[in-house]
Structure 1
């Protein structure tokens, strides 16, 4: 007699091909709308599921895990970041947590360069001018931006995405610098022609562009705070495609308004969808709605990793992308 299929609850809409395959393999409960679940709905979902498939919009804390009961055995996160999940509490309750690392590396790096160019070349201002019908033709001094070639790019976080950003920036003729918890291998430094800075303060003060590519952890919360922002050149630009909590958003907004920093390109925000309204008013800022990983290829690959993690667990083995507290 075949083993009973796992019950799986998915908290958000996923690409159709992923939902179809999941339905073939498991007893799946899919969402009809695409709004985040309430806290109460999440707890109820955990009570009736063997496996929960959440996303970064689902905060799962110790209190919710305590209320979930004993049925839940695996949280198969759809995404690489797990700072929205209390992994330590989950493991203490015998609940495994998996994620989908490495999938969105190239997509996020592409978006980082897109934001960098959008800010330095004033692309949104040009787009707005065209769409409003106010453009009167070419002029020698109109919408003058800056050349990226030759600029110093400081990368905060030289993991997979940081290195992918460096490869792209290198092709644009930028000088690559980085700060990381640990210095990367000499072969990587040589290939990227990258300079390591042990001191984040010193790197920040000398860069023309600062790219945030580190995860959000307790140690990186407001790592780019008011004091470090004041170290930046007034001509410098900051780009963030990682996590909004790494930057003190209010301090950044103040300095952008006063011209202490030249510009910013942001795909993520400190309070999720609640963005400082003053930030939205600034012409020297490009804001995107968390689009860094938004390619169909990337989202399908994320789903495939989720499927593999669940199927491997269902077969009695350790999920290949298991997250353990020591990794965080």
Structure 2
């Protein structure tokens, strides 16, 4: 009879997540050769190739994709069972796998996650920052963080932040060269600094003023896929940007950026922690949700 160990299955999932044997080995604190040999041995016993290899990366085959979809929920149940046994009501243990948007950290990291880990030293967190929206169940995450409107209907959601909004800004240096826009329509005459989305498209600001709406028009001078670079471009005076108000509050107060069209903004809603509602909640996640409710 062919026997497959739990460690081999964990290796398969790590390689599928990381895309290379080396990155998976680093995550699992194993040698790359041990990871390679484990995958090769498993494929031989299964009689099927799970990964296509190139010199730069590995990718799941069709058979590998089906295999990962089957073993992911099973391994999650095994991990939760072990955590239940290891945990005590007042001293929970276990590893939390979280999927979070890259720019969200400053909004909840220091106020929630760090004090949570200080309170519960036996809980570990494995956090993945990804811009794309993922199926947290299929990809083996315990919970995710998204804007409230993006949380799937079958998930339980807990509010992490107040309602967020983005505001239109430019640097004093830019405004010394170009007259500030007085209406949203006037933005089309300006150098626009915009975010490029995970699907390759450029985000066109959807500004709101009570019941009025305006979708950005005009040519984009600078498009980038991370908020930090967009922020720096605005500070450098390259043009007009739409940035998270909480992220740039210090710049607004110090005069490094000036808010334009103050009656108009992009309303994002609150940031939420969400997790499956139809599964047994592991002790570490249960402790985190209780902590969030306490802080809130």
TM-score over 0.5 (shorter chain): no
As a proportion of its length, which structure holds more strand? Answer: 2
- What is the TM-score when the length of structure 2 is the normalising length? 0.30
TM-score, normalized by length of structure 1? 0.28
Q: Which has the higher contact order (CA 8 A, sep 6+)?
A: 2
Greater C-alpha radius of gyration: 2
